[in-house]
């Protein structure tokens, strides 16, 4: 009897062991093909179905860093890096000759005790000369309105004017500069029209005029001073600039007028023209020897300050054109198209505070443009 019981126990034990083996062998093969793994391929291509599943843990990081760069602001212009080059806001390693075509607003911007641009350019390794009223052949220095740029760069006499400009090494305003002329010609040509050029007719979205342009050679008071004609003149300049890639041409937009000296419609036209210059004008230009600085935009916000000497340089919000947290930023958060730094209600010359803001934002951008032009750094279009 005991023998039968032992035999029965052995049989039961072997039977349970076989069931355990079968159970284990039945579940192990099914794990690689579990429903969680198998369901995505049923609805999307197998090679690309898995990345979206694993992406969410890592993708929010870049998405959340973008708002931190410019909180509540329109996104900055992203810094293209051709050839893997980064934007370089630092001064050039060797002194470079620069000439500035301007009138009274430029004179104030350059002055050590006003905008301080001359000092900042000196400290950034630029040897600066300038033109002013009465300068040059035929007194061409008297004429710096938008229509006059055609005379400077495209007229039958332009070679006479420009050969003199490239050779000029004197100062026609008071400002500090490098003690030693590095020699050679002026390689950087900085030119700016004055605030009467912000009195523009037409409509903000008018396209550039083509063919004969009645604004060519005309002053800002001309009846032909419109958005379309101004755009057409700037387009005319591209033909010459493309032939002189050994020079860097820097367009400084005309400063804004005071609210008393302009109208909402004309001020909106000025805003539109300058946005076009920064964002659209060079979209089809294949070379790297033009840079636009939006002097107008920079001078239309002051942080809400009413005190003399206060500006919004370095503030997060406001209207700026600057190198900001690794990118070139052209931004408007203050809804204003008139000067925020007019010297008086009837005097649109910028105050020293406005000039200092413009200097602080302009010089790093100039350095970036120079390194781009020389092939030593990234470029921004």
Structure tokens at 73: 């602001």
Query: For residue 100, is pLDDT > 50?
Result: yes
Backbone φ, ψ for residue 55 (5° rounding)? -70, -40
Nearest to 187 by CA among 160, 168, 159: 168
pLDDT at 84: 66
Mean pLDDT of 60-70: 31
Q: What count of residues does the chain have?
A: 381
pLDDT at 184: 98
Mean pLDDT of 101-124: 98
Rounded-to-integer distance, Cα 138 and Cα 159, Å = 13
> In this predicted model, which residue has the larger pLDDT, 61 or 283?
283
Mean pLDDT of 156-179: 98
The pLDDT confidence band at residue 309, using thresholds 50, 70 and 90, is confident
pLDDT at 324: 98
Q: Is 96 exposed, middle or buried (0-12, 13-18, 19+ CB in 10 A)?
A: buried
pTM higher than 0.75: yes
Q: For 121-130, how does the pLDDT look when each residue is reduced to its tens digit (9 = 90+)?
A: 999 999 999 9
Rounded-to-integer distance, Cα 126 and Cα 129, Å = 10
């Amino acid at each position: 009897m005991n023998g039968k019981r032992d035999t029965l126990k052995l049989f039961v034990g072997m039977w349970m062991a076989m069931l355990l083996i079968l159970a284990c062998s039945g579940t192990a093969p099914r794990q690689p093909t579990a429903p969680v793994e198998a369901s995505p391929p049923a609805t999307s291509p197998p090679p690309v179905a898995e990345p979206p599943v694993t992406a969410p843990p890592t993708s929010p990081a870049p998405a959340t860093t973008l708002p931190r760069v410019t909180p509540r602001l329109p996104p900055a212009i992203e810094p293209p890096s051709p050839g893997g080059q980064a934007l370089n806001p630092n001064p050039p390693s060797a002194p470079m000759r620069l000439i500035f075509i301007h009138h009274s607003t430029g004179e104030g911007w350059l002055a050590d005790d006003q905008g301080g641009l001359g000092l900042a350019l000196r400290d950034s390794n630029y040897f600066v000369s300038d033109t002013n009223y009465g300068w040059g052949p035929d007194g061409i220095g008297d004429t710096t309105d938008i229509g006059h740029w055609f005379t400077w760069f495209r007229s039958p006499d332009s070679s006479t004017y420009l050969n003199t400009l490239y050779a000029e090494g004197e100062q026609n305003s008071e400002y500090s500069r490098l003690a030693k002329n590095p020699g050679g010609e002026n390689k950087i040509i900085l030119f700016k029209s004055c605030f009467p050029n912000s009195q523009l007719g037409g409509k903000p979205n008018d396209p550039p005029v083509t063919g004969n342009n009645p604004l060519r050679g005309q002053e800002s008071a001309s009846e032909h001073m419109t958005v379309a004609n101004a755009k057409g003149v700037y387009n005319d300049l591209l033909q010459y600039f493309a032939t002189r890639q050994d020079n860097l041409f820097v367009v400084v937009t005309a400063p804004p007028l005071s609210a008393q000296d302009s109208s909402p419609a004309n001020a909106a036209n000025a805003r539109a023209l300058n946005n076009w210059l920064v964002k659209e004008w060079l979209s089809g230009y294949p070379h790297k020897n033009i840079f636009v600085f939006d002097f107008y935009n920079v001078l239309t916000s002051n942080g809400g300050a009413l005190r003399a000497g206060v500006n919004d340089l370095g503030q997060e919000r406001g209207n700026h054109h600057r190198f900001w947290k690794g990118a070139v930023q052209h931004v408007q958060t203050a809804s204003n198209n008139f000067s925020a730094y007019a010297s008086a209600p009837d005097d649109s010359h910028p105050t020293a505070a406005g000039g200092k803001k413009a200097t602080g934002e302009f010089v790093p951008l100039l350095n970036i443009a120079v390194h781009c032009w020389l092939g030593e750094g990234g470029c921004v279009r």
